[in-house]
Amino acid sequence: MGHHGGVASDTKTQRGRQTVRDMILSLLVVGGVAAVVYIFIPHSEGDPVRTVPYTVELATARRAAPYPVLAPQGLPAQWRATSVRYSADDGGHATWHLGFVTPSGSYAAVEQSDDSADGVLRAQVKGGKPDGSASVGGEDWDRYQGEPYRALVRESGGATTVVTGSASYRELAQLAQALHG
């Protein structure tokens, strides 16, 4: 009688072990399939760009900044925001930054500060040299060509706004035209 009990409990333990082993094997198979799917299926067209939402930062910056903070409205979805930042530096200058990957895959950013235009240009457009001007949405912007970035620059509302990046002047103008306070 005791002997039978022993066999039954051994079988039960064995069955328990098998169940655990089967579960682990199933998980490994599912994990393996998931890994293969992850590796071989392109993610958003195989694009490593990580987009960031910026509505909260924009609202915060608009409350804190001593000038009208600008952000684009109505840009096509191919414009993807990748970085956002609002800060006040040691010199007391309030700075707003919003960076994008453009439809052509270039970089473009809005940089605003209550620092002088020279100060903002020095910080944002290394080696920037005057390169004429452009009318964007009926407003005049100064063009600067630096290395590697170019920029459109405008002073108004107590701030210097720089639309800069490796993007073409055409794409920079598209971003500048979409800006609203």
- Which residues are CB-neighbours of 139 under 8 A, at least 6 positions away? 154
48 vs 64, residue with greater confidence: 64
Residue whose C-alpha is closest to residue 179's, from 145, 139, 146: 139
Q: Tell me, what's the pLDDT at 26?
A: 73
Is the CATH code 3.30.200.100 the one for domain 55-180?
A: yes
Q: In the predicted model, what is the mean pLDDT of the chain?
A: 86
Q: Tell me, what's the pLDDT at 59?
A: 96
N-terminal to C-terminal alpha carbon distance within the chain = 87
Could you report the per-residue pLDDT of 72-103, keeping only the tens digit for each? 999 999 999 999 999 987 677 899 999 999 99
Confidence tier at 27 by pLDDT (50, 70, 90) = confident
Q: Could you write out the DSSP letters of every residue in 24-68?
A: HHHHHHHHHHHHHHHHHSPSTTT--------HHHHHHHHHH-SS-
Q: What is the mean pLDDT of residues 13-35?
A: 72
Question: Kind of pairing, strands 80-88 and 94-101?
Answer: antiparallel
| Proportion of the chain above pLDDT 70, given as a percent | 81
Taking CA atoms, 48 is separated from 59, 75, 83, 97, 138, in Å, by: 28, 21, 14, 21, 36
pLDDT at 6 > cutoff 60:
no
Q: Tell me, what's the pLDDT at 102?
A: 97
Q: Tell me, what's the pLDDT at 40?
A: 59
Give just the sign of the alpha carbon dihedral 76, 78, 79, 84.
positive
pLDDT at 44 > cutoff 60:
no
48 vs 124, residue with greater confidence: 124
Q: Tell me, what's the pLDDT at 38?
A: 56
SS3 call for 118: helix
**How much is the pTM?**
0.72
